[in-house]
Chain A
Amino acid sequence: MINKGCWLGFISLFPPYLLAADMAYVSNEKDDSLSVIDMNTMAVVNTIEVGERPRGILLSKDKQQLYICASESDTIQIFDLKTHQVIGELPSGEDPEQFSLHPNGKWLYAANEDDALLTVIDVPNRSVISQIDVGIEPEGVAVSPDGKTVIVTSETSNMVHWIDSKTNKVVHNTVIDARPRYAQFNRSGELLWVSSEIGGTVSILDTNTREIIHKISFAPQGIHQDKVQPVGVKLTDDGRYAFVALGPANHIAVVDQQTYQVINYLLVGRRVWQLALNPQQNKLLTTNGVSGDVSIIDIDAMKVIKSIRVGRYPWGAVITDEQ
């Protein structure tokens, strides 16, 4: 007979990620809900009502909670991952859409599109630390890995605003291609990738000089150039790939992070918007707004393996490993 100790010994042979079940949380902009997807079975296991027009979605530093931008409720909701309930709210300013968490896990930076502001939120105290004037229609927000710099992209001013996180002041602006939507630092923090929706490009900026050092254009086969509108960007930590969601082009561009060459285009659903990597970074999830589904990409095989119907207009996504 196999006793309990044997089982525990057997289980301990496996690394923790093999025992964890990856769960994806997808915000459905028009259904005011979150879809919960089991990444192993690749099926929706739950749909939970949240605030109005949920868009940006983030995992807390301790991975126990989600922060959800409920844009039309003018708040950021705190969602408990164990109980699957909204347990509180953060003061976000009006119409929060995208936000980013400081590496200290305490400060949250949310862009207020209508007010041309960046709101700095103290998460433990649930209070506003500061509101910073930025360009018109701020959208993408990113915090550098060392936590010293905060980035906001403003859609109408076509600028990247560089903010010192100590003083909460704008220290520099970089003009960029039309309608910058999303920004992400690479792992070392030396480079910043910014997508420009109307410009149809992704710009790579040197964070020391704050200048553009490279610009990537996209030309998926058989797609009219007008439809190539880059939005979400995700970089793998191993420095190999960058994934760019091309909006109404319905494709994900796979870019080599070192050479900046587009190495593949993967067909996904309609108006692909935002992206999420799983903790092991071997799966990428894309939210396809118009087709109301998400697509899952196996990064090792570099193939789209499944598209799963969720709510109406899925916007943001987070994948977490729940042990």
Chain B
Amino acid sequence: MRYWYGFYGICQRELLRFLTQKARFASALVRPLLWLIVFAAGFRAALGIAIIEPYATYINYEEYILPGLCAMILLFNGMQSSLSMVYDREMGSMKILLTCPLPRWFLLLSKMIAVAFISLLQVSVFLLFAYFYGLELAPMGYFYGLLAMLLAAIMLNGLGMIIGAWVKQLENFAGVMNFVIFPMFFISSALYPLWKMQEASNWLYQLCRFNPFTSAVELIRFACYQHFNATAFYVVLGCGIIFMLLAIISFSTERFNQN
């Protein structure tokens, strides 16, 4: 019961934070919508030349980048949650949270899951906009897609926590965002398929292949079309566990006592 209260409290706090930060919600929505409506429109016919898994037929570029944009929302949210941890630490509210008589790993895990659910909420709204824009998935595609996104969100939140633990001041955060979010997003299969990357440059292709964000995108892409990408699943699961462990280690008592 104690655990449930702790989990519930953290979820409620994240939800309240999300609901009170309207600008954050709007930007989380506007960003992928701009990509979809403005950027992808220019490249609409760019991909109608080859069939790649999991698609059964030729697709427009908008359809291709939809899973990537969903993953982008998860990535930004994961990183933003780490920003909020830096803020919490500076404002002192983190200390209050850590005085809670629950193991630290449980508090971190709860926060990761809470942020993941907030991310899924945002993705759902984005998918609704995409639906009205003409990008429709099968009903089960939404279900499997959201399941895949939950796992991907937990992995990305774990990464965000690690960064949040190591960044001591808010001022440093912008740099970290630039060094983490943008390379992760651009050097992945979110915007271009891997075979396109390979055509351009082999080392870029290798970077893309080993970027865990690529696996997150592909897991979501396959799930949206009711396919299971086992490799991507194990990579996301493995990275998720590693990131989570590293985050727990990073938030060890010693480090916080030093702070």
Taking Cβ atoms with an 8 Å cutoff, the residues of A that contact B are 221-223, 250, 267-270, 291, 293, 295, 304-307
Contact = CB atoms under 8 A, between A and B. Distances in A.
A231 to B, nearest CB: 18
B58 A268 contact: yes
Interface in B44-61: 44-45, 48-49, 51, 56-60
B44 A295 contact: no
Nearest to A306: B56
B57 A250 contact: no
A227 to B, nearest CB: 10
27 contacts: A221-B44, A222-B41, A222-B44, A222-B45, A223-B45, A250-B45, A250-B48, A250-B58, A267-B48, A267-B58, A267-B60, A268-B57, A268-B58, A269-B58, A270-B49, A291-B49, A293-B51, A295-B57, A304-B57, A304-B58, A305-B57, A306-B56, A306-B57, A307-B51, A307-B56, A307-B57, A307-B58
Interface of B: 41, 44-45, 48-49, 51, 56-60
A73 B49 CA distance: 32
A267 B51 CA distance: 12
A295 B51 CA distance: 11
A221 B48 CA distance: 13
Leading 6 A-B pairs by shortest Cβ distance: A222-B44, A307-B57, A306-B56, A222-B45, A304-B57, A267-B58
Nearest to A291: B49
Nearest to A304: B57
Nearest to B49: A270
A306 B54 CA distance: 11
A291 B58 CA distance: 11
A291 B50 CA distance: 8
A7 B233 CA distance: 45
A269 B60 CA distance: 12
Interface of chain B: mostly helix, strand, loop or mixed: loop
Given A222-B44, A268-B58, 4 more contacts: A268-B57, A304-B57, A307-B56, A307-B57
Nearest to B41: A222
Contacts of A295: 57-58
Given A221-B44, A222-B44, A267 B49 contact: no
Nearest to B60: A267
A225 B57 CA distance: 24
Contacts of A269: 58
Contacts of A304: 57-58
A291 B49 CA distance: 8
A11 to B, nearest CB: 31
A307 B58 CA distance: 7
Contacts of A305: 56-57
A271 to B, nearest CB: 11
Nearest to B45: A222
A306 B59 CA distance: 11
B138 to A, nearest CB: 11
A269 B48 CA distance: 7
Contacts of B56: 305-307
Contacts of A250: 45, 48, 58
A187 to B, nearest CB: 29
A303 B99 CA distance: 57
Nearest to B136: A303
Contacts of B45: 222-223, 250
A291 B48 CA distance: 11
Contacts of B57: 267-268, 295, 304-307
Nearest to A288: B58
